């Protein structure tokens, strides 16, 4: 695996999403080539990334000249102009970019991007909205990693009803259908905790389940 310093990222489209992706990657020590057709957007990012270009990324020649086609991973962050997003993805694939990640404005756009061989299609607004709603629904919510359509691995803060009880006493699998995969305690991580393990105040639980199961678990 390449070290992050040896990896080149391309970011096409510097709206709110693209801007923060490019900036964060650069701050993390990665080499970033960023571009947008809007001069002002390019000016805003220029000092933060390795290279920034004003170009129309649907133009194959301009794409090649910018060096973006040599990047290991290219993030296409164009939502509104679906036609441009599709054209750019096709060019990147033809130019042999190893990994293409693209933002989709809606499910149809996402489906087309998948058909075109995009390695990862992302729906930032939808995903943030779901995450926000989950954090409001599930008491003690810290973090969530979705697994498939229904299940997620949730990180939740242990709460009073659990304190001092063993996992066997709590019988969470039977009562709520959830599995405790790990317990984070201070600096340690108890993976696959046994039934004898007691939940303590301050613990963070790593739990596999559905949103509905977690809502029930945390509202007892
Ligand atoms: P945000 O991330 O702010 O939500 P958005 O999803 O609404 O943005 P757009 O407004 O469609 O995305 O475009 C994002 C950026 O992509 C804009 O800054 C726009 O100038 C740029 N862009 C659009 N088409 C092209 C193109 N053909 N080549 C390069 N940049 C483009």
Please tell me the distance between residue 4's alpha carbon and the centre of ligand 1 in angstroms.
26
Structural domain ending residue among the three candidates 67, 94, 122: 122
Structural domain ending residue among the three candidates 99, 122, 145: 122
Range of the domain at 112: 4-122
Q: Is 147 helix (H, G, I), strand (E, B) or coil?
A: strand
Whether 141 and 86 map to the same domain: the answer is no
Average pLDDT for the chain: 94
Nearest in space to 125 (alpha carbons), one of 3, 48, 15: 15
pLDDT for residue 77: 97
pLDDT at 53 over 80: yes
Taking only the tens place, the pLDDT of each residue in 64-122 is 999 998 999 999 999 989 999 999 999 999 999 999 999 999 999 999 999 999 999 99
The CATH number for 14's domain is 3.40.50.720
Whether 68 and 168 map to the same domain: the answer is no
pLDDT at 123 over 90: yes
Please tell me the distance between residue 37's alpha carbon and the centre of ligand 1 in angstroms.
8
Whether 146 and 109 map to the same domain: the answer is no
Whether 8 and 108 map to the same domain: the answer is yes
- Residues 123 and 185 sit within 8 Å (Cβ to Cβ): no
Q: Is 69 helix (H, G, I), strand (E, B) or coil?
A: helix
Whether 101 and 162 map to the same domain: the answer is no
Mutate to test the pocket of ligand 1, among 12, 15, 103, 121 (most ligand atoms within 8 A of CB): 15
- Residues 58 and 115 sit within 8 Å (Cβ to Cβ): no
More confident position, 23 or 69: 23
Is 63's C-beta closer than 6 angstroms to any atom of ligand 1?
no
pLDDT band at residue 1 under the 50/70/90 scheme: low
Please tell me the distance between residue 80's alpha carbon and the centre of ligand 1 in angstroms.
7
Mutate to test the pocket of ligand 1, among 80, 110, 123 (most ligand atoms within 8 A of CB): 80
Nearest in space to 205 (alpha carbons), one of 151, 140, 150, 130: 140
Whether 112 and 139 map to the same domain: the answer is no
The CA angle 3-4-9, to the nearest 5 degrees, is 130
Long-range CB contact pairs, 137-143, < 8 A, 24+: 137/211, 137/215, 138/211, 138/214, 138/215, 138/218, 139/218, 139/219, 140/218, 141/218, 142/204
pLDDT for residue 139: 80
Whether 14 and 113 map to the same domain: the answer is yes
Taking only the tens place, the pLDDT of each residue in 56-67 is 999 999 999 999
CA 98 distance to own-chain centroid: 19
- Residues 99 and 68 sit within 8 Å (Cβ to Cβ): no
Structural domain ending residue among the three candidates 72, 89, 122: 122
Whether 86 and 187 map to the same domain: the answer is no
Is 78's C-beta closer than 6 angstroms to any atom of ligand 1?
yes
- Residue length of the chain: 220
Whether 111 and 196 map to the same domain: the answer is no
Whether 134 and 118 map to the same domain: the answer is no
Please tell me the distance between residue 54's alpha carbon and the centre of ligand 1 in angstroms.
12
The CATH number for 190's domain is 3.30.70.1450
- Residues 200 and 185 sit within 8 Å (Cβ to Cβ): yes
pLDDT at 5 over 90: no
Domain total in the chain: 2
Q: What pTM was estimated for this model as a whole?
A: 0.81
Taking only the tens place, the pLDDT of each residue in 154-185 is 999 999 999 999 999 999 999 999 999 999 99
Whether 118 and 9 map to the same domain: the answer is yes
CA-to-CA distance for 1 and 15, rounded, in angstroms? 30
Whether 19 and 97 map to the same domain: the answer is yes
pLDDT above 90 covers a percentage of the chain that reads: 87
The CA angle 27-30-31, to the nearest 5 degrees, is 115
Q: Where do we find the tokens 């990047």? A: 71
pLDDT at 11 over 90: yes
Is 124's C-beta closer than 6 angstroms to any atom of ligand 1?
no
The CA angle 188-194-198, to the nearest 5 degrees, is 70
């Amino acid at each position: 695996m390449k070290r992050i310093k040896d990896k080149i990222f391309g970011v096409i489209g510097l709206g709110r999403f693209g801007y923060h992706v490019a900036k964060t990657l650069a701050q993390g020590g990665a080499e970033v080539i960023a571009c947008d057709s809007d001069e002002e957007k390019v000016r805003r990012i220029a000092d933060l990334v390795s290279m920034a270009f004003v170009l129309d990324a649907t133009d194959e020649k301009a794409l090649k000249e910018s060096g973006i086609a040599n990047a290991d991973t290219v993030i296409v962050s164009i939502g509104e102009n679906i036609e441009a997003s599709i054209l750019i993805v096709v060019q990147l694939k033809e130019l042999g970019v190893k990994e293409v990640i693209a933002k989709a404005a809606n499910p149809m756009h996402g489906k087309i991007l998948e058909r075109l061989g995009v390695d990862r299609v992302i729906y930032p607004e939808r995903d943030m909205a779901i995450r926000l709603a989950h954090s409001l629904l599930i008491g003690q919510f810290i973090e969530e990693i979705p697994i498939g359509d229904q299940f997620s691995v949730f990180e939740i803060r242990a709460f009073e009803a659990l304190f001092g009880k063993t996992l066997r006493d709590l019988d969470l699998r039977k009562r709520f259908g959830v599995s405790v995969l790990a317990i984070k305690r201070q600096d340690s991580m108890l993976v696959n905790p046994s039934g004898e393990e007691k939940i303590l105040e301050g613990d963070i639980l790593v739990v596999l389940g559905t949103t509905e199961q977690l809502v029930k678990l945390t509202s007892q």
